[in-house]
Amino acid sequence: RRCSDCGTNQTPEWRTNPRNGFPLCNACGIYLRTRGQHRPMNLLVGPPLLHTAPEGYLGLHCSYCRVMETPTWRRHPETRQLLCNACG
């Protein structure tokens, strides 16, 4: 199992994303439930799994069109890159 947000395969408890049914680690699941959004890249521990954000960049953005706001964030099924609703 691998978290659909941060990519970890180790967590004390697995959760499910209510929007798409994908698995989430405990940290990403709690963040999504309490804040209604995915954990920002700067809160993820360890090496980047999707892409390297520019220096000083603190928010999420679509890997294709660079939009920073979308009703739903998605992941590319093969590369796991972060995508906005329109590009996903």
Q: What is the pTM of this model?
A: 0.51
Residue 43 host element (H or E)? none
pLDDT digits (tens, 9 = 90+) for 41-56: 666 654 444 444 444 4
List the structure tokens of 35. 């804040």
Cα–Cα dist 22/45, whole Å: 20
What values do phi and psi take at 29, rounded to 5? Answer: -65, -45
pLDDT of residue 58: 44
Nearest to 88 by CA among 19, 25, 1, 6: 19
